[in-house]
């Protein structure tokens, strides 16, 4: 029989398997969740230094905390969780540890898995890691890169109203599924082959169908501000018309 101190950890690992979020293991102060469809993924895969020149920084969005990595299972995106604002001066990468299931990497992986399994346009989650340091932890997540995807401000057909209607239609699909995307900005809207995807679900959540519409409006307002700030290659009147195409499709 396992020692008493190990029983909660073993129970937690069994719970992870039952929830079908992937394969989870705890080794000392490390939690690792991996996608069963991607055998061979280890904790090293979530360390950009381990990849060396195979890790290339992602330029758009973020805080210099994401990399494209070439693996034997395809191209992926590695992202480390980092703080912004004034608090980053005290601790850029460490968060207060309150349990493995409350770590940001665990929550985002679990949410991504659920959205992906529902057929929503999100990247396939590959692995998540949290490493504990006493009262704190650091975290990272690994997702499959969407081939050919570029952020909304970088698409060639930016003035195509059909594209903006597709963005509105896609956001509505997520909202109808209850997703509250707290950081819905232009760089978290990707376009590939005419398809629109959402990324970066850190701190996002699923809400009940009858939870009201204020959170939906907050998402749209945040994206609207981002459009005004990032979509500068078109005139203000044209930008307003494109946004109206998005809004009409969303509310239609």
DSSP 3-state of 62: coil
Q: Cα(9)–Cα(26) distance, rounded to whole angstroms?
A: 7
Catalytic residue among 70, 124, 183, 202: 183
DSSP letters, 109-158, are HHHHHHHHHTT-S-PPEEEEEEEEETTEEEEEEEEEPPTT-EEGGG-TTT
Burial class (CB in 10 A: 0-12, 13-18, 19+), 170: buried
Task: Report how far residue 127's alpha carbon sits from residue 211's, in angstroms, rounded to the nearest whole number.
Answer: 31
**Helix, coil or strand: residue 23:** strand
72 in catalytic set: no
Contact 159, 233 (CB under 8 A): no
- Burial of 14 (C-beta count, 10 Å sphere; 0-12/13-18/19+): exposed
What's the gap between Cα 86 and its chain centre? 23
What residues are annotated to the active site? 183
């Amino acid at each position: 029989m396992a020692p008493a101190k190990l029983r909660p950890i073993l129970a937690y690992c069994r719970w992870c398997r039952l929830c079908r979020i992937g394969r989870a293991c705890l080794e000392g102060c490390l939690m690792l969740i991996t996608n069963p469809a991607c055998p061979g993924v280890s904790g090293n895969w979530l360390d950009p230094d381990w990849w060396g020149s195979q890790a290339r920084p992602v330029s758009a969005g973020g805080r210099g905390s994401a990399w494209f990595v070439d693996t034997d299972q395809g191209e992926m995106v590695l992202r480390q969780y980092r703080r912004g604002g004034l608090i980053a001066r005290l601790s850029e990468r460490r968060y207060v540890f309150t349990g493995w299931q409350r770590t940001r990497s665990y929550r985002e992986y679990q949410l991504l898995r659920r959205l992906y399994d529902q057929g929503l346009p999100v990247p396939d989650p590959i692995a998540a890691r949290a490493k504990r340091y006493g009262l704190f932890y650091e975290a990272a997540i690994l997702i499959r890169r969407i081939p050919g995807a570029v952020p909304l401000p970088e698409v060639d057909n930016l003035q195509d109203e059909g594209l903006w209607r597709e963005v509105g239609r896609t956001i509505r699909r997520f909202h109808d599924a209850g997703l509250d995307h707290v950081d819905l900005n232009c760089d978290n809207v990707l376009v590939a082959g005419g398809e629109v995807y959402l990324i970066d679900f850190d701190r996002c959540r699923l809400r009940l169908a009858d939870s009201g519409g204020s959170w939906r409006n907050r998402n749209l307002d945040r994206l609207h501000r981002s459009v005004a700030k990032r979509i500068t290659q078109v005139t203000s009147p044209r930008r307003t018309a494109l946004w109206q195409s998005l809004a009409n499709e969303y509310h239609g």
